[in-house]
Structure 1
């Protein structure tokens, strides 16, 4: 049985069943539903040929070429689909038109699949669903503080203590500075970052506190969704004021073991903002492995940069707390007590 469903119906009723994305690998890499498995009908090259035929010749010619590409793969499609959905119940989607997903669904039904759901308007419907999702209100608690405050570690401690937490930097594969991508996996596309963020937030209770780190709109090369970022900027900031010396120690522990060449490259990329004399001094200290001095120099810039962003908020929205050391577990407990 084949059934056409909306993306809303899928998330409310069928998210537990396997989901197959039949778009090309390039489409999938740019952005996909986080729990989907890519089982492409066409390769990127084949899709380009079919698309050209559709535009320059006719829909019928495109279908004819597409069938020639697909015919040798039909048995393989069944084998792989059974591996993905051994119970022979599966949801399928393509880009938006439904031609690929419906053809794939019909093939599965003809070969023993009992229930096949096709998501109407496909991945495009999902993207619209994501955009609308972030427009709803969220009870955000913004964790702020200068670089080196240990905000990411505090978020992890909050989560261990049962709090709802969103680790934006973890989702972005980036620590949020010129040094932020060192020794981390490549960043997702902004589109995929939004998709992954959606998959986390949809499982949280929007009425209960949700802790999230204060961020710029960009984390490395990916952007926080506009609607969600606007809500972050509207909410009060729990600003942790940790002494420079303690933050320096924490950053040395975090960064001293990372790639020396990439640290040097990061300093070069912010040379203009540091001031060329400061950047040169930082490079010299890096060569000496004097990481404390390197951190002190770069914090001059990052503290000014963060303070500039903080000053754009209303003073009444900044809740400042003196914190003598970087102690994630203790700070997490303190923050939880503030909510009670």
Structure 2
């Protein structure tokens, strides 16, 4: 049997070179998994339930025999699929705890010439790592500002300058507002979001600043864990100011071309907060392509929400900067100066 059991430390370097197979059921994989892995389930959802029930009722021996009875007829299909997907025949496999399912898959593939690296402790070991990683005391610098000041654009520009940027909305497939899910891919589970977050964080130097956007605790259906959310709240925040005209124009650029029916659904989700008249007016404006009007209407609500959220930050750690009429490139230089002041450094002219 050509198999090697590897630790999580060994896994990090090997996965850059080898494909990764998740041997768990479809539902487990859908709920959360190691990013870039491919699901080849040993037991399907229903089979896993059947084996699990038998384990509770009669014990491990009966459950094991039942598992082989169920999956045995598919052994050749699993082997053929793996050969087709991974012609180099060198892979990493894992299951929930690095137990029977990944062992069976490893055995099956080694029988047809694969070199297999099996993750010790399985997905559970990986998940313990990501859980801890997103709860560390990272050195954060938060970009704040009312809706439409261009925080996301600034984050992307900072990343282009090789700054450490954690774009939570990008990881969550959601822009954070009632309109944030329009045109986006389905959101990950909260657990998978934390996996993606940890994958990004582990690339960073923990001694250096990490930029991110000010967020509510909830991004669509994603809920940020308490430790990280509280850390955001007590970290330095740069509050960006822009003219209302600039903000309306930026929002128009991002949302005016989206399907009207989706925009109207988003408006209706805010009906209780907007009130009947403002909701009706906003919908009519969307239908009639009066984009500046409905955006201006909604900014009244979003500005109040932002002001309320801003109050949770320590005023002594808040730096306000007016970027009205200033382009992205110059804006980045100005906020980098604030970063360097906060870090007690002299501004780097290269930025």
Q: TM-score, normalised by structure 2?
A: 0.90
1:184-228 Cα shifts (integer Å, max 9, x gaps): 121111111111111112112222222111101110111223332
**Residue 57 (structure 1) aligned with residue 36 (structure 2):** no
Alignment of 1:132-171 (within 5 A): 132-171=132-171
User: How many angstroms does 1:35 deviate by?
Assistant: 2.3
- State the Cα distance separating 1:83 from its structure 2 match: 4.5
Matching of residue 32 in structure 1 with residue 33 in structure 2 = yes
Q: Distance in 1 between matches of 2:204 and 2:77?
A: 38
Aligned length: 339
State the shift of 1:326 in Å.
Answer: 6.7
Aligned residue for 2:344?
none
Q: Secondary structure at the match of 2:131?
A: helix
8 Å Cα contact 2:140/2:209 also seen in 1: yes
Query: What is the rounded CA distance, in whole Å, between the counterparts of 1:326 and 1:50 in structure 2?
Result: 63
Q: What CA distance in whole angstroms lies between the structure 2 residues aligned with 1:133 and 1:216?
A: 20
Pick which of 149-158 and 76-85 moved more.
76-85
| Counterpart Cα distance in 2 of 1:301 and 1:331 | 26
For the residue of structure 2 that corresponds to 1:32, the secondary structure is coil
Q: Please name the residue that 2:92 is paired with.
A: 91
Cα 1:97–1:163 change in 2 (3 A) is: closer
Partners of 2:298 and 2:3 in 1: CA distance: 59
Q: Does the Cα contact within 8 Å between 1:92 and 1:118 map onto a contact in 2?
A: yes
Matches within 5 A, 1:254-265: 254-265=254-265
The alpha carbon displacement at 1:9 in A equals: 3.8
Q: Counterpart in 1 of 2:129?
A: 129
1:102 lines up with 2:126 in the alignment = no
For residues 231 and 82 of structure 1, the distance between their equivalents in structure 2, rounded to whole angstroms, comes to 47
Structure 2 contact 142–211 (Cα < 8 Å) conserved: yes
Gaps (5+ residues) in structure 2? 341-346
Taking the aligned partners of 1:35 and 1:311, their CA distance within structure 2 comes to 39
Q: Secondary structure of 1:162's match?
A: coil
How much has 1:18 moved relative to structure 2?
A: 2.3
Query: Hey, what's the Cα distance between the residues in 1 that align with 2:199 and 2:280?
Result: 43
Number of the residue aligned with 1:317: 317
Is residue 150–residue 326 contact of structure 1 (8 Å, CA) maintained in 2?
no
User: In the TM superposition, what whole-angstrom CA distance separates every residue of 1:215-246 from its partner, at most 9, and x where no partner exists?
Assistant: 01110111223332222222101110111121
State the Cα deviation string for residues 92-116 of structure 1 (Å, max 9, x = none): 11112611111221222333233x2
TM-score scaled by length of structure 1: 0.93
Q: Deviations over 1:112-170 (max 9, x none)?
A: 233x2322332122111111112333222211110001111111111112212111111
Q: Using the alignment, how far apart are the partners of 1:298 and 1:253 within structure 2?
A: 16
Distance 1:19 1:234, change over 3 A: same
Aligned partner of 1:180 in structure 2 is 180
Partners of 1:25 and 1:43 within 8 A in 2: yes
* Larger displacement relative to structure 2 (305-314 or 102-111): 102-111
> Counterpart in 2 of 1:284?
284
Greater shift after overlay, 301-310 or 41-50? 41-50
Partners in 2 of 1:77 and 1:333 — Cα distance? 54
Identify the residue that residue 219 of structure 2 maps to in structure 1. 219
Aligned partners of 2:84, 2:203: CA distance in 1, in Å?
Answer: 27
* More moved, 7-16 vs 225-234: 7-16
Matched with 2:327 is 327
Greater shift, 202-211 or 322-331, is seen at 322-331
> Within 2, Cα distance between the matches of 1:38 and 1:142?
37
Distance 1:292 1:112 in 2: 64
